[in-house]
Structures are given as C-alpha cells and as structure tokens.
C-alpha cells in the first residue's frame, strides 16, 4: 500500500502515484473519508457560488411557497375640522411556489468493480458526478430566470400539492407593488422580459431601470456571457475597470472596486454600465443580459429538503456505515422566483423575447 501523508482529496487521488493502486488495497474506509470530505467541500463551493460572493443571486430555503406582498394605493386627502378619510380594503398578495426535484446519477460501484478498480478510476467517477451536479444546478437556475412562462408543479416529494411557480414579472396580470416614488405598474402589460434586434445603449439602460424603478438599487448587477463582453464594453454608457497590469501607478490611483481581476476571465466584474456593475458570468447566456440587485431580497430561492442530511450532493448507500458500497448519487433541490420585480432580462438578438434553449 502506498504511503499516505497529509489530508487527501479526490484531485490528489488522480496523481500518477495512484495509477496502479487498487482501490480495495488502498482501504475502503480511507476512500470513504476522502470522498465524504470532498463532497462537503463541493457542496460548500456550490452554496458560495449561488448565495455568497460579490454577486449572490439566490437564497437557500426549505420553504415550498411564500406569499409575495403587493400594494394598496392610498391617498392623503385634505380634511376639514370634522372630516374623516375613507378606508380602503387591502388587496391580497400572490402565492409563489418553489419546486423540489430529485436528481440522481449511477456510478455502478459493485464489489467486483472495487476489487479490480484503481484509486484513479474511483476518483474520476466521483469527480464526474460532482461536475454533473454543478451543471444541473446551474441549468435549473438559468431555467428559473430565463424561461418566461409560469407553470404548476406537483410537489410529489412532499404531499403532492400543486405549487404555482412564477417567473420574473411577465405581464401575467398579477398585482405588482407600487414603486418607491409612487410608480404604478399594470400587471397585465408590465414585463421584465424585453428584447431588441440589436444591442443598443438605451435599451440596456431601460432594462436596468426596470429593476431600479421598483426600489431595487443597493447593488445592481448586470450579467453577460463572455461572448458579449466586447459588444457591451463598446457601449457609450460603459465605463471599464482598470487592468493594473497595463496601467502602472500608485495604489491610490486604483481604488479596489475599479481593479479588473485578471484571474478569472469568465467570472469577474469588468466595469460599470450606468449604475449597474457589469459581470461576465460563466452561466450567462449569449445575447441575453440579466439585471438584478444583489443587496436586496434576491430574485431566486433554491429550495432544499428540511432534513439537513438530504441537502447537497449525497452518496447513497444501502448501509450507511459502508458508503463505498453505494452505486448511486443523489441531489434534491429546485429553483423558483421569489422576488419577481428584482430581475430583468434583455435579449438583444431578436425583436421579441424568445426563451433560450437551456
């Protein structure tokens, strides 16, 4: 058995020194420990990607539905000495639901496979499942945002009740809360899914305003795909962040917020567009810009199981004491829009909005 020192993770098990090492000879208990710790790290990174960092877009919750507020428009009326203002009935809000789905992947670990497989083969299978989990989470997140039609979801993992899953504001006649300055919005016509045949400065500014006019203005983000970085950067309202590698000078000349991060070309803030900070995101879709306020009630809820042991990517075994006998991986989650006004999407490749293929 090879000498093992320090704390191993799955990427370590891919090293050349483990190429010919048999998984059973390495020790199933040791392998189980490595896999479990790597899963914990993976799940923590997934949480940070969605709910933390500089541009969070979703909150984690076990809620399956919530009541979104609305407005009853009131007016202060002039009164005389004996006058009394009329009362007005409050309008109820709308219920928004969050789906919970079960996803799985089979690795095919059997006793015979374990006796013959190498450590590298086992690590590769585990890493493949983690990659599949990342892709599925991001895919479902994008569908919750970029697909414009509401739908009903049967909550079969609970009691089968039908949940009304909503999108961003989409002219579905739902009541919309008034803006902070008394703006009134017609639920039958007001939509946060806009489109134009080409990318125009004024259209993108109008899309940003769709979020701001509802009172979301603490930290507005604008996410684009890397393929659109050059086109957005060429707009008149765009102000680029400084690349410190190309502009030598004192640190005082380069405020931290204005520095361009050179380490992640597909996941970084590149500048300002009007009042919105422009982010190139790896999950963004080409020809679509997403705007939201990351400091306010976030647009999405990522629903998870109430039992903590069922959250995140899990290695499922028939006998919990021996997880390396498992042949199956599982994750339970779902995305739904919670704050319908805190988000707008502008497509700039078609005259009318089209749901992207995700």
Q: What would the pLDDT profile of 9-50 be if each residue is shown by its tens digit?
A: 555 555 544 556 666 566 566 666 666 677 777 777 677 667
Q: Which range among 56-70, 91-105, 115-129, 300-314 shows the weakest confidence by mean pLDDT?
A: 115-129
Q: Does 270 fall in a domain? A: yes
Q: Which range among 124-128, 153-157, 201-205, 208-212 shows the weakest confidence by mean pLDDT?
A: 124-128
Q: Does 284 fall in a domain? A: yes
Numbers of helices and strands, H then E, in the chain: 7, 16
Say what the pTM is. 0.80
Q: What would the pLDDT profile of 320-345 be if each residue is shown by its tens digit?
A: 455 555 567 889 999 999 999 999 99
Q: What stretch of H or E contains 336? A: strand 328-337
pLDDT at 189 > cutoff 90: yes
Q: Does 32 fall in a domain? A: yes
Average pLDDT of the segment spanning 173-191 = 90
Report the candidate in 43, 31, 116, 40 with the shortest Cα–Cα distance to residue 326.
Answer: 31
Question: Does residue 28 or residue 358 have the better pLDDT?
Answer: 358
**Highest-pLDDT range among 26-35, 195-204, 215-224, 260-269:** 195-204
Predicted confidence at residue 206, as pLDDT, reads: 97
Q: Does 73 fall in a domain? A: no
Question: Does residue 156 or residue 117 have the better pLDDT?
Answer: 156
Q: Does 57 fall in a domain? A: yes
Report the candidate in 219, 223, 224, 222 with the shortest Cα–Cα distance to residue 297.
Answer: 219
Q: How far is 218 from 291, CA to CA, in rounded Å?
A: 13
Q: How far is 134 from 48, CA to CA, in rounded Å?
A: 12
Q: Which residues contact 8 (CB under 8 A, 6 or more apart)?
A: 30, 34
Mean pLDDT over each residue of the chain, to the nearest integer: 81
Average pLDDT of the segment spanning 129-143 = 89
Q: Does 339 fall in a domain? A: yes
Q: How far is 170 from 173, CA to CA, in rounded Å?
A: 8
Domain that holds residue 183: 10-67+92-347
Q: Does 194 fall in a domain? A: yes
Q: Find where tokens 């899963």 sit.
A: 39
Predicted confidence at residue 4, as pLDDT, reads: 47
Q: Find where tokens 């500014």 sit.
A: 205
Q: How confident is the model at residue 6 (pLDDT cuts 50, 70, 90)?
A: very low
Question: Does residue 28 or residue 169 have the better pLDDT?
Answer: 169
Q: Does 78 fall in a domain? A: no
Q: How confident is the model at residue 1 (pLDDT cuts 50, 70, 90)?
A: very low
Task: Specify the number of domains making up the chain.
Answer: 1
pLDDT at 152 > cutoff 80: yes
Average pLDDT of the segment spanning 75-86 = 67
């Amino acid at each position: 058995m090879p000498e093992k020192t320090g704390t191993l993770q799955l990427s370590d098990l891919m090293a050349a020194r483990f190429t010919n090492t048999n998984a059973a000879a390495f020790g199933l208990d040791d392998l189980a420990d490595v896999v479990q710790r790597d899963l914990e790290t993976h799940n923590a990174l997934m949480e940070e990607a969605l709910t933390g960092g500089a541009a969070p877009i979703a909150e984690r919750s076990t809620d399956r539905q919530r009541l979104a507020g609305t407005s009853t428009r009131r007016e202060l009326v002039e009164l005389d000495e004996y006058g009394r203002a009329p009362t007005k009935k409050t309008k109820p809000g709308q219920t928004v639901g969050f789906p919970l789905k079960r996803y799985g992947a089979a690795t095919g670990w059997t006793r015979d496979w374990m006796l013959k497989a190498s450590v590298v083969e086992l690590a590769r299978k585990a890493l493949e499942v983690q990659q599949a989990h990342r892709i599925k989470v991001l895919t479902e997140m994008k569908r919750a945002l970029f697909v414009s039609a509401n739908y009903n979801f049967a909550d079969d993992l609970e009691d089968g009740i039908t949940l009304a899953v909503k999108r961003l504001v989409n002219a579905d006649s739902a009541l919309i809360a008034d803006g902070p300055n008394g703006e009134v919005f017609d639920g039958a016509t007001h939509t946060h899914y806009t489109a134009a045949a080409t990318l125009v400065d004024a259209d993108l500014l109008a899309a940003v305003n769709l979020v701001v006019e509802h009172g979301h203005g603490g930290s507005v983000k604008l996410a684009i795909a890397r393929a659109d970085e050059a086109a957005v950067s060429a707009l008149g309202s765009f102000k680029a962040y400084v690349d410190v590698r190309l502009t030598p000078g004192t640190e005082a000349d380069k405020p931290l917020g204005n520095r361009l991060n050179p380490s992640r070309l597909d996941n970084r803030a590149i500048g300002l567009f009007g009042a919105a900070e422009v982010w190139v995101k790896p999950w963004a879709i080409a020809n679509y810009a997403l705007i939201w306020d990351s400091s306010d009630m976030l647009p999405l809820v990522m629903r998870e199981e109430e039992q903590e042991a069922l959250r995140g990517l899990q290695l499922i075994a028939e006998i919990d004491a021996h997880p390396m006998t498992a042949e199956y991986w599982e994750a339970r989650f779902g995305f739904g829009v919670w704050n319908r006004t805190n988000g707008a999407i502008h497509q700039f490749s078609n005259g009318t909005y089209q749901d992207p293929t995700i």
